[in-house]
Chain A
Amino acid sequence: MTQRLQWIYGWLLLFPAMVMLMAFTHVPAVTTVINSFFSTPRGRREAKFVGLANYENLINDPTFWKVLTNNLWYALATIPASIFLSLLMALWVNDKLKGRSLVRMSFFAPTVLPLIAVANIWLFFYTPGFGLIDQIRMGFFGLPENSWLGSQETVLICMMVVTIWKEAGFFMIFYLAALQTIPPSLREAAAIEGASRSTFFWRVTFPLLMPTTLFVSINAVINSFRMVDHIFTMTGGGPDNASSLLLFYIYEVAFKFWDTAYAATLTVVLLVLLSLIALGQFFFMDRKVHYR
């Protein structure tokens, strides 16, 4: 009797969390995979099993390849740049300097501000003619005005800049925390041995930061596929999908074109891609990381 009661208590305690997890994570994930093998239900026409037809469509969809390429470039540029910048900022504000708290706060500010809001500010920066960038270009260098977000060549780069600006401050906090766990006596011991600043950085600081770098890089990868808020506000994916990313395309397909089956297929591709990258990072980098 008591055993059964315990059993009931156990399930009762698990129940709320389980319902939440099931309803919003597990069931949708599994349904997504299932849906990707069915056609989109329309009106009275029910969804029917179509096998790999959705995946064939995907391979033949030039927009898919376009946004995938966009996303890969976007990842390749934003991940290393934001990590490098965050490390640089962390090293800088970790040193003794005047107004250190103020500098730290300013670096962290982009993380605190909602992306949708700051995207509007960036929108102003990029505005042709009277935007901040063009005013500087025209005022100081006498260059003609330029439509930064209207041109296929520059729009993706503009989006990358916003992302890097947004992410670097966030990653800096992790690097800063890691830097502060390194005892100052290590630097002093190295100084007595005659190690220069750069030797110390490459031989000691950088290896000791590797666990943080791994963590930050995985976050950066996920963010590069996940953060699309500024695309909505600034470009809507245009012009001609030049700034559209995978997740943004999924959103469009699912909630603008209501092709839910195809959106499910795209989602599966995104999930597989992310899992592969994360696994690869863990297995590849784990061997090089020293955990204390």
Chain B
Amino acid sequence: MTLQDTSSTSVELANLTKSWGGLNAVNDISLSIPSGSFTVLLGPSGCGKSTTLRLIAGLEQATSGKIIIGGKDVTHASPAQRDLAMVFQNYALFPHLSVAENILFGLKVRRVSRADRDERLKRAAEILGISALLERKPSQLSGGQQQRVALGRAIVSQKPICLMDEPLSNLDAKLRHEMRVEIRALQQKLGLTMVYVTHDQTEAITMADQVVLLNNGEVEQAASPHELYTYPGSVFTARFIGTPPMNIAELHGLRDAELSGPDLFPEAPEDALLGIRPEDIELSDEAGVAARVEATEYLGADTLATFKVGSAQLVARVPGRKAVKTGDTMKLTWDAAKSLTFNRTTGKRRDVIKPEELQLNPA
């Protein structure tokens, strides 16, 4: 059931900058959000992700750069002219209006016929399972129900693009998981172009077609969740994605440890950083680097163990049944192909460093 033609609803940002008093909240962002895709803007607090979303929505005016929606330059268009819907972090429900009136607010403003309104309301309420709540006021709803009403408002508008600003941050963990699945299903069912802001990397990884990781107002990396997780382009990405995040250890520190068997360390300059995911590290009886357990964190299915390897530290995810005690010494091994190396000065992954950068840092 596709409600609208999704062929021309891509969003393009070109050199978009937003500054407040000389401070760039969004700094020269160029980004392409394909039509019908689920794109998550991810990043720590203050990275400019919400500002970017508000720029797309037209709630903020860009300092420079362009916003192109469906092939049209809308940089200076009003929010209403951009033909999009938005779900706010605090839901922005009108407290004096009933659920039905809240959902229909925009349709009434746009003078949609009564029959059409009723039809759309009925369908949205069915999709979201809030048919029984239509007469209630927002204050009589739980957080999850309010969230659904806010979604309902976006659905009935039948706009091809939907923007969401941390819509799940006010919900408890269980509800958040449910809504994550629901929003993703809804987006696919309606063929929406979704731009979703969150600081929660789990949300980003589980829902997105494309994750745009922002840092200090700039795009750190834009890629599929899989690529972002497996081949982080920088130390920042590696440390931001994954719980626990990727180990980033100094290569020369690791090399201090006693090593038996095949070499685990890649050819790299002395000051490079090695990145390896905790789940890629295995305990081994025969070959590997010598490591001493410094701390353990029991998680049920597995245990996170912090090892001292040479003068560096590595966290490994150890299957729950294996007994690991603080102070034990054992050997660690991993598939050398799964490890990555990063340039210490630029923080970039080494194999993505461009030739000209290599010449600047002869490494």
A185, A204, A290, A292 pick with most chain B CB within 10 angstroms: A185
Give the total of B residues in contact with A, Cβ under 8 Å: 23
Contact across chains for B96 and A190 when beta carbons are under 8 A apart: no
Given A188-B92, A195-B105, 16 additional A-B pairs, CB 8 A:
A185-B89, A185-B92, A188-B79, A188-B86, A188-B88, A189-B92, A191-B59, A192-B58, A192-B85, A193-B105, A193-B153, A195-B106, A203-B109, A207-B96, A208-B96, A290-B95
Among residues of A, the one whose C-beta sits closest to the C-beta of B82 is A192
Residues of B within 8 Å of A204, CB to CB, are: 94, 96
A199 at the interface (CB under 8 A from B): yes
From B86, B89, B94, B139, contact of A192 by CB (8 A): B86
Smallest Cβ distance from B48 to chain A, in angstroms?
18
From B58, B79, B90, B139, contact of A185 by CB (8 A): B90
Residues of B within 8 Å of A272, CB to CB, are: none
B157 at the interface (CB under 8 A from A): yes
A186 at the interface (CB under 8 A from B): yes
> Given A183-B90, A290-B95, A292-B95, is A192 in contact with B110 using a C-beta cutoff of 8 Å?
no
Contact across chains for B92 and A191 when beta carbons are under 8 A apart: no
B57 at the interface (CB under 8 A from A): yes
Residues of A163-219 at the interface with B, using a CB-CB cut-off of 8 Å, are 183, 185-186, 188-195, 199, 203-204, 207-208
CA of A58 to CA of B59 in the docked complex: distance in angstroms? 64
Give the total of A residues in contact with B, Cβ under 8 Å: 18
Contact across chains for A193 and B80 when beta carbons are under 8 A apart: yes
B86, B110, B157 pick with most chain A CB within 10 angstroms: B86
Residues of B61-93 at the interface with A, using a CB-CB cut-off of 8 Å, are 78-80, 84-86, 88-90, 92
Residues of A139-174 at the interface with B, using a CB-CB cut-off of 8 Å, are none
From A186, A194, A199, A203, contact of B92 by CB (8 A): A186
Residues of B within 8 Å of A195, CB to CB, are: 105-106, 109
Smallest Cβ distance from B329 to chain A, in angstroms?
56
> Given A185-B90, A186-B92, is A203 in contact with B78 using a C-beta cutoff of 8 Å?
no
Contact across chains for B78 and A193 when beta carbons are under 8 A apart: no
Contact across chains for A183 and B92 when beta carbons are under 8 A apart: yes
Residues of A within 8 Å of B58, CB to CB, are: 191-192
Contact across chains for B157 and A193 when beta carbons are under 8 A apart: yes
Contact across chains for B95 and A189 when beta carbons are under 8 A apart: no
Q: What are 30 A-B pairs with beta-carbon distances under 8 A?
A: A185-B89, A185-B90, A186-B92, A186-B94, A188-B57, A188-B79, A188-B86, A189-B86, A189-B92, A190-B105, A191-B79, A191-B80, A192-B58, A192-B79, A192-B80, A192-B84, A192-B85, A192-B86, A193-B80, A193-B105, A193-B109, A193-B153, A193-B157, A195-B105, A195-B106, A195-B109, A203-B94, A203-B105, A208-B96, A290-B95
The count of A-to-B residue pairs whose CB atoms sit within 8 angstroms is 62
Residues of A within 8 Å of B88, CB to CB, are: 185, 188-189
Closest 9 CB pairs of A and B: A193-B106, A194-B80, A290-B96, A189-B92, A185-B92, A195-B109, A192-B79, A191-B79, A207-B96
Smallest Cβ distance from B278 to chain A, in angstroms?
39
Contact across chains for B139 and A191 when beta carbons are under 8 A apart: no
Residues of B within 8 Å of A207, CB to CB, are: 96
Residues of A within 8 Å of B86, CB to CB, are: 188-189, 192
B59, B84, B157 pick with most chain A CB within 10 angstroms: B59
Contact across chains for B96 and A192 when beta carbons are under 8 A apart: no
